[in-house]
């Protein structure tokens, strides 16, 4: 196991990527309390995420990946420690500010797509673009994930991978600065999973959206700029991929 560098930015020192920090996580812990029982889900996480990078977050079940992602996205709060988004401490934000942060800055993708069955792909995406400040057109968002031929299809008329790509289009149509993906290919077979990963890569490259992808699948790690491994509530390894692969080259 490599030692975690004291300053994560050290590991980009040989790269040409611009190093603009977007998230700065300082020593966060998370304890879930259920009656007498306490679960220590995060045990002191320090992490910096940079503009435009694609990070894969690996770790066994229960290692704290979703807890960390939910805290980054303002869906949950740490028990102690601080999370800064572009220098703003999320712990000091009011409920209204947190809602704005989630609405304007963060896109979420989950294992299940949560599309509205009675709306077409385009209408599912339009739901978000109608309330966003500077949205993409739904057609353009769907085109970006390779679905321009499916605009008027309903979820039931699409494969799992296509539905997940509609969910990606919906998440990125508001042009979020960060895309947080929790097991986006968890319910998909190999080929379909690859198409979804291609869509995520496309969004990352075309829009420069900072992207974090949680997975159990170490085979996906090769498409990341950085791979962060968690174990038992801690980060145990951070690895820079000097030559990342495209999703079509991945094998698992
Ligand atoms: N709402 C909750 N209440 C109590 N305990 C929780 C809650 N959410 C998560 N936990 C516990 O916190 C720990 C970390 O869970 P988390 O979901 O973050 O792990 P994970 O790495 O994402 O796992 P998986 O890969 O299975 O989704 C686990 O022990 C889990 O049981």
Ligand 1 center–CA 67 separation, angstroms: 6
Helices (H), 61-148: 65-72, 95-105, 121-129, 138-144
pLDDT per residue as tens digits for the range 136-192:
999 999 999 999 999 999 999 999 999 999 999 999 999 999 999 999 998 888 888
> From the alpha carbon of 30, which atom of ligand 1 is closest?
12
CATH class of 51-73+94-249: alpha beta
What is the pLDDT at residue 210? 97
Residue 15, token pair as written in the block: 């790269």
**Where are the domains positioned within the chain?**
51-73+94-249
Residue 110, token pair as written in the block: 């989950």
Q: How many CB atoms lie within 10 A of CB 17?
A: 13
What is the pLDDT at residue 197? 95
Query: Higher-confidence residue: 150 or 16?
Result: 150
What is the pLDDT at residue 18? 59
Residue 13 has pLDDT above 90, yes or no: no
What is the pLDDT at residue 225? 96
Asked if 73 and 85 touch (Cβ cutoff 8 Å), the reply is no
User: Which residue's CA is the closest to the ligand 1 atom numbered 5?
Assistant: 32
Kindly report the backbone phi and psi dihedral angles of residue 12, in degrees, each rounded to the nearest multiple of 5, phi listed first.
-100, 10
> From the alpha carbon of 70, which atom of ligand 1 is closest?
18
Question: CA nearest 109: which of 215, 14, 36, 9?
Answer: 215
Asked if 53 and 18 touch (Cβ cutoff 8 Å), the reply is no
User: Which residue's CA is the closest to the ligand 1 atom numbered 8?
Assistant: 67
What is the pLDDT at residue 252? 82
What is the pLDDT at residue 187? 87
Ranges 91-95, 186-190, 239-243: which has the least confidence: 186-190
Q: How many CB atoms lie within 10 A of CB 99?
A: 12
Residue 15 has pLDDT above 90, yes or no: no
pLDDT per residue as tens digits for the range 43-88:
999 999 999 999 999 999 999 999 999 999 999 999 999 999 999 9
Pocket test for ligand 1, best of 29, 31, 32 (most atoms within 8 A of CB): 32
User: Which residue's CA is the closest to the ligand 1 atom numbered 18?
Assistant: 64
What is the value of ipTM here, to two decimals? 0.97
Q: Which residues pair with 83 in a beta bridge?
A: 25
In what side-by-side order are the strands of the sheet with 37-50?
37-50, 21-34, 80-85, 88-89
**Ligand 1 in reach of 229 Cβ (< 6 A):** no
Q: How confident is the model at residue 118 (pLDDT cuts 50, 70, 90)?
A: very high
What is the pLDDT at residue 182? 96
What is the pLDDT at residue 88? 95
Residue 10 has pLDDT above 50, yes or no: no
Whether the model clears a pTM of 0.80, i.e. scores above it, the answer is yes
- For residue 219, give Cα distances in angstroms to 48, 92, 159, 244: 23, 38, 23, 12
């Amino acid at each position: 196991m490599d030692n975690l560098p004291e300053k994560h930015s050290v590991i980009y020192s040989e790269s040409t990527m611009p190093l603009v920090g977007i998230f700065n996580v300082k020593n966060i812990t998370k304890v879930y309390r259920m009656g007498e029982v306490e679960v220590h889900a995060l045990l002191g996480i320090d992490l910096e995420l940079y503009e435009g990078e694609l990070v894969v977050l690996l770790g066994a079940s229960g290692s704290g990946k979703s807890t960390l992602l939910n805290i980054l996205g303002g869906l949950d709060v740490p028990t102690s420690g601080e999370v800064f988004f572009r220098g703003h401490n999320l712990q000091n934000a009011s409920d209204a500010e947190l809602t704005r942060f989630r609405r304007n800055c963060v896109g979420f993708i989950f294992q299940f797509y949560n599309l509205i069955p009675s709306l077409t792909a385009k209408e599912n995406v339009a739901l978000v673009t109608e309330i966003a400040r500077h949205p993409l057109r739904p057609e353009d968002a769907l085109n970006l994930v390779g679905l321009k031929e499916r605009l008027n299809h309903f979820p039931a008329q699409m494969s799992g991978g296509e539905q997940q790509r509609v969910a990606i289009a919906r998440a990125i149509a508001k042009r979020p600065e960060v895309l947080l993906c929790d097991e986006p290919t968890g319910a998909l077979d190999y080929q379909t999973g690859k198409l979804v990963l291609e869509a995520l890569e496309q969004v990352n490259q075309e829009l420069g959206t900072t992207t974090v992808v949680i997975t159990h699948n170490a085979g996906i790690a090769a498409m990341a700029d950085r791979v962060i491994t968690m174990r038992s509530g801690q980060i145990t390894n951070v690895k820079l991929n000097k030559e990342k692969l495209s999703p079509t080259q991945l094998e698992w």
